[in-house]
Amino acid sequence: MESITFQLLRDYSAVGFGANRAFSYRFTRKSNQTRVSFPKLIRTSSGFKSCSATLSLMVEVEEKPKFDADKTALLVKEVRKSFNSGKTRSYEWRVSQLKSIEKMVEEKEMEITEALHKDLSKPAFEAFISEISQVKSSCKLALKELSSWMIPEKVKTSLTTYPSSAEIVSEPLGVVLVISTWNFPFLLSLDPVIGAISAGNAVVLKPSEIAPATSLLLSNLVQEYLDNSAIRVVEGAVDETTALLAQKWDKILYTGSARVARIVMAAAAKHLTPVILELGGKCPAVVDSNIDLQVAVRRIIAGKWACNNGQACIGVDYIITTNAFAPKLIHSLRHELEQFFGKDPMKSKDISRIVSSSHFARLVKLLDEENVSDKVVFGGQRDENQLKIAPTILLDVPEDSQIMQEEIFGPLMPIHTVEKLEDSFEVINSKQKPLAAYLFTNDELLKKDFVQNISSGGMLINDTVVHVATEGLPFGGVGESGMGSYHGKFSFDAFSHKKAVLYRSFAGDASIRYPPYSPEKQRLLKALISGNIISIILALIGWSRD
């Protein structure tokens, strides 16, 4: 009997978070069978729950062919051939694929929910609200607006090109690569794909291997429901991603950490490929005292612990409030957290688990750092077997501690206090620009100052996270939190080339543009370029007098 251990060290992460991810899969090989140990999922009337026991199954070993550079090049060649045929450009093809995604989500909702639970223990309600319904909404909007998005935009022309007309034509870029992440593995895979399809592109999707159940499901569903000549899924980890990045793409959208984003951008630069990078950062929530405290606290909890248990790029990373108001805020947070998740949140079925043992260990390290562990004012419970950490609040941890220097991406919430709320601006601006910034206040002047003085990918006043579900707003970062944006019409634009087109007839051909260049011609041409009607008239008069 032969024992083989595969250790896969990976640096994939959620939006804006970089953490080393180590997987250890132990296979005991016996003839053609393999014994695999993995966490057991027990189905109950209310869904699924995790158990620290292991379940051993005898499964057939299927050696997957290596996904090397040659196979990757062949895949891209096949997809590009489909794009070059022109099929993806048609309105009918785009609509058919969008309707197929809509049908797929409708028919496979249970399977999607189960996969998300296997990967993250994500509650069914949260899975529907934050992932499934968002994909449905993106499809519905694209189907409703696609015909208008595709209409060329008319542009005014100038006297120098008279008579003429002009327009901006949105054309597909070509073959695009979408590299998604694990924290919202269904939504963040399909949402950009919907935009790419709407714009008429062929697409290759690389889901995150850190959410293996969702990755496998996406691969199977895309193969079953969509046009595989133009839309493909490549599963895998670093080797597969490296092979994909070595190819020539017409655009790459990557969701993940700033560290990996630099690798993606460097690979793209070799081919002058444009990129959209959706990253993250330390998203602050500034809390004033003149508010409806219960509503504000509930919304903060919804944007932290009820949002994949803090594992979200736009989730609240830390709170800033005044010294005087902090005790009242903490008391309210404690009360509402108990209302939401019970006296023992470790037993709650309404909160996701930490995605992996390495991510769990990283969060514990942040929590146990010297001069940090004694700052816990609520929570702090942990269970490594179930990969759960309770909602935890810390007060005034040192600014130079790791928990205040890196994106937390978990259920730990530091509260930083200041003398007066305006001092929060300096705290936020001392860090890298976040993907989102939140303010809770009824002070109109403070709202105005916050919008004007804080730079972030997005901003929300008196709530958290819901701005990303607003159809007319772009979603994207700035600086270290990313570049480019998508969602709704912005997704269509992100995967389109805006081609400038000018139409002229053979009439109205002016001799002043051609040699020889006399002083009179130069005078008239300068007047035409200036657009000043008096100068034009004077130039024409001068021309006629000669």
Nearest CA-CA partner of 289 in 389, 386, 417: 417
Would you give the DSSP letter of residue 70? H
Nearest CA-CA partner of 351 in 409, 304, 384, 403: 304
Bridge-based pairing state of the strands 482-483 and 275-278: antiparallel
HSE-up (13 A, CA, CB side) for residue 190: 31
Contact 138, 193 (CB under 8 A): no
Contact 135, 112 (CB under 8 A): no
Phi/psi of residue 336, nearest 5 degrees: -70, -35
Contact 28, 1 (CB under 8 A): yes
Contact 407, 16 (CB under 8 A): yes
Instruction: Tell me which amino acid residue 105 is.
Output: V
Q: Return the CA Rg of the chain.
A: 28
Report how far apart, in Å, the C-alpha atoms of 13 and of each of 16, 25, 276, 374, 532 are: 8, 20, 16, 29, 57
Phi/psi of residue 28, nearest 5 degrees: -110, 110
CB atoms within 10 A of CB 499: 11
* C-alpha span between 406 and 286 (Å, rounded): 18
* C-alpha span between 181 and 188 (Å, rounded): 7
With H, G, I as helix, E, B as strand and everything else as coil, classify residue 121.
coil
* C-alpha span between 378 and 363 (Å, rounded): 16
Active-site residue, selected from the candidate residues 102, 313, 336, 407 = 313
- Torsion angle in degrees (nearest 10) through CA of 174, 175, 181, 184: 60
Q: Is 313 part of the annotated catalytic residue set? A: yes
With H, G, I as helix, E, B as strand and everything else as coil, classify residue 51.
strand
Active-site residue, selected from the candidate residues 126, 131, 240, 278 = 278
Q: Per the structure block, which two tokens stand in for 269? A: 């630069």
Bridge-based pairing state of the strands 202-206 and 231-233: parallel
Q: Is 278 part of the annotated catalytic residue set? A: yes
Catalytic residues: 278, 313
